[in-house]
Structures are given as structure tokens and as C-alpha cells.
Amino acid sequence: MTPPELIQIEPTRPEPMPIPDVRPPVKHFHRPQESPFTESQRDETTLLFGGLTPRHERLVESALRNLGYKAKALPSTSLDAYERAKEYGNNGQCNPTYFTVGNLVKYLQDLHDAGMSREEIVRKYAFFTAGSCGTCRFGMYEAEYRFALANAGFDGFRILLFGTDDGIDQSTGERAGLELNLDFFLGLINAFNVADTLNQFVHTIRPYEVEAGSVDRVTDEALDRLYDFFLHRDRFELEASWVRPLAGTRFRKTAEFFGKLTSDTLRHDLDETMAGVRGLYDDAVTLDPFRVKPIVKIIGEFWAQTTEGAGNFHIHRFLEREGAEAYVVRSLFNRISYMLWQHKHMTRDRKGLHGLRGKEKLRVKELAEHYLRFARKWGMLTAGEKLLRRKNEKLLEALGGTLHSMPSQYELEELARPYWNWRTASGEAHLEIGENIYYHQHHLAHMVLSLKPFTCMPSTQSDGVQAKVVEKYPGMIFLPIETSGDGEVIAHSRVQMALGTARSKARREWADALARTGRTLHELKAFVADHPELTRPTYDVPHARGVVGRAAAFALHVGSLMDARPVSVAPLSGSR
């Protein structure tokens, strides 16, 4: 029997159901449109700024007001500001971004709560800050400010950056309101220089004050005097009779440039004002230099080591409460000198390259012009380095010469060279490594504390290298701390543990110094009581060779005065 034929049945597939597209439409980010800040708006627009120490911000405000701007420094940052930035900003930003962005948002919201409308705030205020680009999230600050402000209801608020808001506004034909000319930069550099010097001086003497609060009280008085000085300081202008022969020529601006630069370099009014500030401290503050305290040098990411407040766990005051001296660097001077040094060496690296692009050979004239441009640029950067250091040294002398001169960028790079190539310029480049070695080798700190924002990759790069550095210098105490909006207790606990070792070093050093004098502490104190000038804040105690602490160096100095014999002084330019 023939089997029945198999019937093949084709499987049927149901028609697929259409899947609705529930994805939101793609919305690309575009820089928000802002109203321009023009010259005619200067009288009614307040320029806000912040992110530095209270001393820096006070003097920068005065310098900007002297130039005709309505400047206003923002209050110190707080955890409340940090939380507002987390609420209105993006995730994954670094610690300085949250604190500075949140501080601006908080200030504007406080203005709104006080009765100002949002439209009035956007019209009457603008924020002035620095901008950059590179391997760090610092280049994202501008966009983050705008994003958070828009989310907080201040869409269109003006953010002004260094170098991008000068010249003519093409939409209106008016001059830009922020004029980045030589007067502007000289005013800021002088304010930075004075604030840097005063800031370091205050942190150096405050742990030894006999009367609690006396240093802060005198500092407020000194800032009032310096604020008034910068507010009313005259600016150099060419006389009309001098300008007439140069009218319509390119030499007028050149003559004005060199006239302003020469006048600012040669005048002595700033040094005389600082000498008056020195008198304020000497008249109202008495120190007890016999207090044995470990000296903790603070280095790290620029904002984290400079700010004073919640942004770095109030680290300066915490160290003082723990019985240490916080040795702060003149951070802005250091940053500007590093930028000059870096630009100078990048110029040298490019020497001979630009003129050869697209050409097999150059004529002698073209080569000569190319190398002449290089020599001119190299010379200007070198002159800038020397002028900046000269102005800083004059301020140190006016304040009594008790502060150590800033280390040379050339020496710092040479110290860091075995561990770090300076062309790896991200984060703090060779600064952290060079400073760690420098302050250890020259016996200027018992311990180095490196502050950096949480997950700051450029600054954290050097931490891995520091392990090799510490291995080579066994007596070095190096502690890196990451700052954020929380974790203050943990950070303080880590610092306390490292401080224990630093205290032991300071005490051993003190005991050795006292033994070298051949005197008792009672005898030394009796001599100082008969010579009260030794307890003045601006009394320059020589930096004894191999000695770090103030108490040990002071004991050796007093012992030498009692014996009328000099102490072996370390070959450093200036005291600690």
C-alpha cells in the first residue's frame, strides 16, 4: 500500500506589532544665548567673582573697582552651596566645580529671596572667572556654570572669561565691557602679589600668637588699609604733550605700554604701604616662638590648596587646632611664574619649526625674521619672570623679610626631572613633585600635605610618582588627601595620624637644639623677656642649617645672642 503523501504546511508568522518610539527626541547642547556685556553697561552691572581666599578676594575687588568696575566678591563657599550645585548641575564634576558653581547659584538665589526679580538679576549681574582647556575638568567650568544657572532659573546670566570678552562686540558695535588691557593685568597681579604675601605671613605667625584672635583682628585692619590703597591708586597715563608727536602712529601704544610697565616697576608706594602693615602687626601682636609645632607644607591642586573653608575641610584651621603650623605657598605667584616658565620652554621647543612649514628651504631673510621673533618672545618672557620675582622680593623686604623666597621654577623642574617629564603638563605638572623634594631637602617642613579634589586624575597622577620619591627619601612624611563635600572626619583622622610622626620629629629637633645651646629653657625665656623685640611678628629668625621648626631655630638664635656667636645659617635666599 502506497503511503499517503505528506502534506507540508508552511508555518505562518503573525505580523509584528509596531513598537512605538518612546524615546525622547535628541536634544543637542548649545551654548545659551547671553546678552553682551558692553562698555555702556559698566555703571549698572556688578561683576561677581570668587574661588580664592578672603584676603585675595578683598584686594582683587578693590583693584577692579579702581578700574571703574562694580566688583563684588562672593562669600566663602559652604556645604549648602555644594548641595545646590549637586541639585542643579551635572553629575561627575570635580569638587571645585560643585563649590564654586553652587556658591554663585546660592548668591543669586539669596538675591531673589531678598526681593529682586530673576530678570533684574540677569540684567544687573555678571560672573567673572578664568577659563581654560586641557586634560582637566577645569575646561568644563564655563558650561557647568551656564547649565546650573539655567536649571536654577537664571537662564541667560552672563559668564565672562579671561581672554574671550575683550575688544568690540560685533552685534552692537560697542566696546566690550571687560577690557583686558595692561592696567587690568597690572592691577590684578599687584593685588595677587600682596594677598599672597599677606596670606602666607598670617598663617606663619597665627599659631604662635600670645593673645588669641589678635592676628585675625590686625589682619582685618591691614586689609582695610590695603583695600583703600588699591581703590585710590593712581594709574600712569601719557601726558597730552607727549602723545601729540605720536598721534596716529603705531608707537603711541608702544610708548604707553612701556610707560605703564616702567612706572609700575619703579614706584615705591606699594612697598611703603606694606611697611605700614608691618608696623600694625609689630605694634599689636606678640608671639611665643618657643611653642614646639610641626610645620606642615600644603601643596596640591591649585583651588584645593588655596581656598579656606568647606572646600578643603577647613584644613588650615584644623592644622592649627591640632598644634601645627600650616605652611601655605604663595599660590598665585607660584602659578603665574609656572605659566611663564612653561610658555618660555614651549617656545624654545618650537624654535625653528614654524618657519619651515610647507617649505623646503628658507631664504636668509626669512630665517633671520623667524629667529628674531623667537628672541623677542623669549626676551619678553624672561623679563616677565624677573619683574614678577623682583616685585615679590620687594614686598617680602617691606614686610620684614621673614618669609622664604619662592623656589625657582628651574630648580623645581630639575628636582622633579628624574621622576616627571615637564612636558606632561596636566594637573600640577612637575610642581607637586618638585615642591615635595624641595621643602624636604631644604629643611622647611616636617610634613607635606597634598590636597586634591576627589577623582582629579591630573593631580592624582603625581601621587603614583610620589611613592618613588618617598622611597628615595626615607625621612619624608608625605600625605595625599582627596577633598569632597563629605568625608571630613575621615580626612582629619588621616591627617592626625601623620601629624603624630611629624610631632615626634619636631620634639626631637627641639630637644637637640636646646641641648646645643647649653642653656635651659628658663634661661632662654628670661633673656627674651629682657629683649621683647625678639617676639615681634616681623623679627627675622635665621634659618639654621638642618633645622625645620620655629622653636628650635629660635632657641639656637637666642643661644647665639646670649653667647654673642653666630649660628650656622643655611644658604637660602630669605628666611622660612
Residue scoring higher pLDDT (362 or 341): 341
pLDDT of residue 487: 86
Q: What is the pLDDT of residue 573?
A: 43
Q: What is the side-by-side order of every strand in the sheet holding 158-161? A: 70-73, 46-49, 125-129, 158-161
**Distance in angstroms (rounded) separating the CA atoms of residues 411 and 20:** 66
Q: What is the mean pLDDT of residues 312-326?
A: 95
Residue 5: pLDDT above 80?
no
Is the distance from CB of 303 to CB of 453 less than 8 angstroms?
A: yes
Average pLDDT over residues 188-207: 95
Once rounded to an integer, what is the mean pLDDT over residues 7-25?
69
Per-chain mean pLDDT for the chain: 86
Distance CA 407, CA 572 (A): 10
Residue 358's identity, in one-letter code, is G
Q: For the chain, what percent of residues have pLDDT higher than 70?
A: 85
Question: Collapsing DSSP states into helix, strand and coil, what is residue 479?
Answer: strand
Identity of the amino acid at 549: G
Mean per-residue pLDDT, 106-129: 95
Top pLDDT among 464 and 498 is at 498
pLDDT band, residue 174 (cuts 50/70/90) = low
- Say which range, 20-34, 291-305, 375-389, has the weakest mean pLDDT: 20-34
pLDDT of 475 higher than 60? yes
Show the cell assigned to 551: 622653636
Answer whether residue 135 shows pLDDT above 70: no
Q: Which of 289, 309, 327, 294 is nearest to 496 (CA)?
A: 294
413-432 pLDDT per residue, tens:
999 999 988 887 766 778 88
In the prediction, which pLDDT does 168 show? 41
pLDDT band at 314 (very low <50, low <70, confident <90, very high): very high
Residue 560 in 3-state DSSP? helix
In this prediction, residue 570 carries a pLDDT of: 53
Of 384, 461, 396, the residue nearest 430 (C-alpha):
461
The pLDDT, as a whole number, for residue 203 is 96
Residue 179's CB: how many other CB atoms inside 10 A? 16
**Tens digit of each residue's pLDDT (9 = 90 or more) over 36-76:** 888 888 889 999 999 889 999 999 999 999 999 999 999 99
Report the candidate in 523, 529, 553, 549 with the shortest Cα–Cα distance to residue 541: 553
- Beta-carbon count within 10 A of 423 CB: 11
Given this model, what pLDDT does residue 10 score? Answer: 63
Q: Cα torsion at 184, 76, 129, 394 (round to 10°)?
A: 30
**Is 272's pLDDT higher than 60?**
yes
The amino acid occupying position 70 is: K
Q: Look at residue 170 and tell me whether its pLDDT is greater than 50.
A: no
- Contact predicate 55/219, CB 8 Å: yes
Angle, helices 214-231/182-205, rounded to nearest 10 degrees: 170
Of residues 565 and 62, more confidence is placed in: 62
SS3 of 301-333: the string is CHHHHHCCCHHHCCHHHHHHHCCCEEEECCHHH
Q: Which three cell numbers stand for residue 236?
A: 600712569
Which residues fall within 8 angstroms of residue 440, CB to CB, at 6 or more apart? 448, 473, 475, 476
Domain range summary for the chain, segments of one domain joined by +: 39-180, 189-240+251-355+367-551
Q: Worst-scoring range by mean pLDDT, 159-173, 448-462, 521-535?
A: 159-173
> pLDDT value at position 547?
95
Convert 96-134 into a string of H (helix), E (strand) and C (coil).
HHHHHHHHHHHHHHHHHHCCCCHHHHHHHEEEEECCCCC
